Amino acid sequence: MSHEFELHHELSVEASPEQVWEAIATGPGIDSWFMGRTQVEEGVIRTAFGGYTPENTVTAWEPGKRLAATSEPADDGRFVAYEFLIEGRAASSTVVRVVTSGFLPGDDWETEFEAMSTGLALFYATLAEYLTHFAGRTAVPVTAHGPADFDDLRTALGRPATGDTLTLTPPGQRPTEGVVYFTNSQTVGIRTRDAMYRFVNGFGGGTFAQHHLFTPGADPDEADRAWTGWLADHTS
């Protein structure tokens, strides 16, 4: 079996359309809320996340209004397309509507679709947090993978719920207070004064740390290594 899909998300943020455009249409902006590291150039959006390197062709480019991009269909027909619609409102607020569509082949499409839906919910919640609390700033993205079971990690974090405050001790730093801005069965997102920390149940096993550090001078490679160790140390 296979499945065509279309997912809709709507964000209302206290940011201008120009700030939203910088967040979704530039490499440094995307690095500040999505995953891995992204380059935007000559009508192509390229992302590198571990060994995963998707490339999307830009199909609509209207600065401050609309951005659309799609992957090339694979031999089995698989593809994913994104469309962002930006609508400015009064008092420097903006509504962002996102449509994610595509085609998933194979008998296991439901498992893949569930993982995609869960991940997208976290990404767009992170985009809203970024635009609300860090607009105009750029982050160093962190990607670390640990062998831990995600349920063990949730326990180590105190099994937080959305809206909870908790104390997190990043590697090599003092304890810091954070707010859980998003969580579901597969993800936890925590915002502190100078970072957004995200923990994700890895598709196929293990746990990912997908963080965004707004501390000036943060070294991405050093942070990746430090968080890999943190994941191993803080879970069974």
Q: How much is the pLDDT for 137?
A: 94
- Please state the rounded mean pLDDT for residues 28-44: 95
pLDDT in tens, 52-97: 888 999 999 999 999 999 999 988 888 999 999 999 988 778 999 9
pLDDT of residue 110: 81
Tell me whether the CATH fold assigned to 3-133 matches the one assigned to 140-233: yes
Residue range 131-171, pLDDT digits in tens: 999 999 999 999 998 887 888 899 989 999 999 999 999 99
Predicted pLDDT at 234: 74
| Cβ 186 vs Cβ 150: under 8 Å | yes
Residue 151, CA distances (Å) to 103, 147, 187, 193, 202 in order: 30, 12, 10, 26, 12
- pLDDT for 88-130, tens place per residue? 988 778 999 999 999 988 777 888 788 888 889 999 999 999 9
Residue 203: pLDDT band (50, 70, 90) is low
Q: Is 23 left (phi over 0), alpha (psi -120 to 50) or beta?
A: alpha
- Which has the higher per-residue pLDDT, 18 or 74? 18
Give the H or E element holding residue 155.
helix 150-156
Distance CA 183, CA 163 (A): 9
**Is pLDDT of 204 > 70?**
no
What span, in angstroms and rounded, lies between the C-alpha atoms of 182 and 179? 9
Average pLDDT, the chain: 91
Decide yes or no: CATH 3.20.190.10 for domain 140-233.
no
Residue-level pLDDT at 2: 64
pLDDT of residue 202: 80
Whole-angstrom distance, CA of residue 99 vs CA of residue 110? 19
For residue 18, the model assigns a pLDDT of 95
User: Is CATH 3.40.718.10 what the domain over 3-133 is classified as, yes or no?
Assistant: no
Which pLDDT does position 8 carry in this prediction? Answer: 95
Domain ranges, ordered by start, for the chain:
3-133, 140-233
Per-residue confidence band for 20, with pLDDT thresholds at 50, 70 and 90 = very high
- The pTM for the full model equals 0.93
Res. 236: pLDDT tops 60: no
